[in-house]
Amino acid sequence: MKTKNTNITSYTYKYTHTQHSRYKMSCNNNSLLSGNKVVVILVFILCLVHSSESLRPLFACDPANGLTRTLRFCRVNVPVHKRVQDLIGRLTLQEKIRLLVNNAAAVPRLGIGGYEWWSEALHGVSDVGPGAKFGGAFPGATSFPQVITTAASFNQSLWEEIGRVVSDEARAMYNGGVAGLTYWSPNVNILRDPRWGRGQETPGEDPVVAGKYAASYVRGLQGNGAGNRLKVAACCKHYTAYDLDNWNGVDRFHFNAKVTKQDLEDTYNVPFKSCVYEGKVASVMCSYNQVNGKPTCADENLLKNTIRGQWRLNGYIVSDCDSVDVFFNQQHYTTTPEEAAAASIKAGLDLDCGPFLAIFTEGAVKKGLLTENDVNLALANTITVQMRLGMFDGNLGPYANLGPKDVCTPAHQHLALEAAHQGIVLLKNSGRSLPLSPRRHRTVAVIGPNSDVTETMIGNYAGKACAYTTPLQGISRYAKTLHQEGCAGVACAGNQGFDAAEAAARQADATVLVMGLDQSIEAETRDRTGLLLPGYQQNLVTRVAQASRGPVILVLMSGGPIDVSFAKNDPRVAAIIWAGYPGQAGGAAIADIIFGAANPGGKLPMTWYPQDYVTKLPMTIMAMRASGNYPGRTYRFYKGPVVFPFGFGLSYTTFTHSLAQSPLAQLSVSSYKLNTAIFNSSSNSIKVSHANCGTFPKMPLHVEVSNTGEFDGTHTVFVFAEPPENGIKGLGVNKQLVAFEKVHVTAGAKRTVKVDIEACKHLGVVDEHGMRRIPMGEHKLHIGDLKHTILVQPQL
């Protein structure tokens, strides 16, 4: 419980602090003290609505409702924008204000029930937010692997299909009255620092991958967009430069992220732009932190000018929960709460997760800080999304028949297993120790604190899984198992169980150690201090490896990278597998890979650094590029030693690349405004914004992928671009991923993958002013061990 007294209007309101550090109104009569009567009544109404969710009508504008059937905003044949205008025109200012918060109040006189905007669907429908509840006909939902694991598949069609399944289950639960239609997922922040506790929620460190993931998952959630309709409304979060929760005394509520225009443009904002541009997302969430001294939820340039202006968001902007309260009460950005309410709405915020705007917006209007039209504009954005969802159409539409039978279906659960198969990464396989043979490895010792876990496998922001298969249960399907935890929990504070673990390893034909992390080590509000395995885990691995009479396989569950150099370099550890947090079917997927029923094809979506890397840089420095003793971040800018590089992953088979056709080797680019400000000898580049991009030919790469091994397998074709060194200041890029494709190739066969390289989209870089430019000179394309050079020169 976290209690705060605003000391503003002589009343007190309480917040309950959830395990995810979000807040919801606590309705306690003791908190309704004497003071401003309007505020007291408003708080009471908000509490009444929040506690009466089960009494809310499920569908607005039901044809059977005599209150609404003749009203224009309920007529499905009227254009959405006119329906929205009609509804807003019928509301009083007080009614409008109570719709500015996540637990929006009912308007009974118009037949409109209350609505909870806050639901989560990061990798399956979740009950983290108050908008979705499990029980009764909906005891659970399919829990897919955590995002970092699914990202490791590098399979865009898989990402979209998972979104489609999640939205099927979300719609079914909405029809059953236990969920909403607005889901504040996905998290597309960049995994800038390996210690970040929420890195598990993200698609990793590369902005192109994060952007492709965002667009794919959002398309799956929201549907095909026909007629500007939405299946569910997704939300890309947390905008922007948000990737620190609680490190070394600095927390996200007080952190001022100092970010250059260059890093903002070529790293932090890339996934959000892709989410809006390519994914057509219906919402973007602003973050707790400040960026360059200004709270993101009060930054007009970030919200109104960029998201809605430049990127043309067709949807609403929501705050992270109580961000407005945070920038007033904790960051002290404004003098009065009314100024905070006005600053957020005028900056472009449409919806507040939390009660702040419901409490202080009317005062802001009365003081002349806001106009009622400002409120109308915010409401127009949120209500338009509700209209696009069909929430004012009664129980109509293509998804009305979805129900309990469409949740946790065999097909959905099989997809969760397949996603885990595709995301698990094989990091080491000495002497082809894997796969194990059920015939030769009849007894397997299964050891470690994560060897028989359930909830650990689904990570954070998860719901109630349909069912679990633990690693122990999965391996038991292939062999007799001898099970020992070795130590109690991942903290592994002692070695009391080591002797029993060693004894099991001595008796077994093979040993599987399932180690790693869980939410007690990395989570929201919990960043790591280092990259090593916790406690005595390394000692347990080493001792068991010494004792084992058969091959030793180390399986790691984690969101962030772990420095396991000791195991990588230990010849007694035959194989290392990173499973991430592999979802409800994770144990089955791990076992399938260990015994060869599935061939691993995952690739790391983040760099695995050595422990001494994090001693060189604090989490609070946001700079991406190396400078002086500062080593830089991610594979794009860091050149030092690594444990495992970005994009690394082994297979049970082998693949080779060749260029099936001779690609274009030279490209002349032109600008419609050719002058010294855009192209000159010092920058030796052309601004993308002034280039004739539409006239440049696409440069197709036809990559032939040959499976030269004995197993069928999937392979990821990565295309990296290395820009020329020229006069663009502060570039500092090693290489950057510009495209990737997943391809399945049977043993002994070949497949050709076509990748179109476009100059403006793929060969551009960002200068120190945040401007995208196409450098002239030789651009090197890296495809596996192949290199191809394209000479780009100006057409004068």
For the stretch 24-53, pLDDT in tens is 333 333 333 334 444 433 443 344 333 333
Q: Beta partners for 739?
A: 719
User: How many Cβ atoms sit within 10 Å of the Cβ of residue 748?
Assistant: 12
Determine the pLDDT at residue 69. 74
Indicate the DSSP class of residue 669. E
Task: Say how far apart CA 422 and CA 603 lie, in whole Å.
Answer: 9
* Regions of the chain where pLDDT drops below 70: 1-58, 670-683, 727, 796
Determine the pLDDT at residue 56. 35
Residue pair 235/212 in contact (Cβ under 8 Å)? The answer is: no
Determine the pLDDT at residue 672. 53
Query: Catalytic: 320?
Result: yes
How many CA atoms lie within 13 Å of 310's alpha carbon, on the beta-carbon side? 13
Task: Say how far apart CA 308 and CA 363 lie, in whole Å.
Answer: 26
Task: Say how far apart CA 352 and CA 379 lie, in whole Å.
Answer: 11
In sequence order, what are the residues at sequence separation of 6 or more whose Cβ sits closer than 8 angstroms to the Cβ of residue 23? 2, 15, 16, 17, 321, 322, 354
The pTM is what? Answer: 0.92
Determine the pLDDT at residue 70. 85
Determine the pLDDT at residue 29. 35
Task: Say how far apart CA 687 and CA 674 lie, in whole Å.
Answer: 10
Structure tokens at 631: 């080593």
Determine the pLDDT at residue 189. 98
Structure tokens at 385: 């999304």
Determine the pLDDT at residue 592. 98
Query: 3-state class of 345 per DSSP?
Result: helix
- 320, 350, 518, 767: the active-site residue: 320
Query: 3-state class of 421 per DSSP?
Result: helix
Determine the pLDDT at residue 39. 42
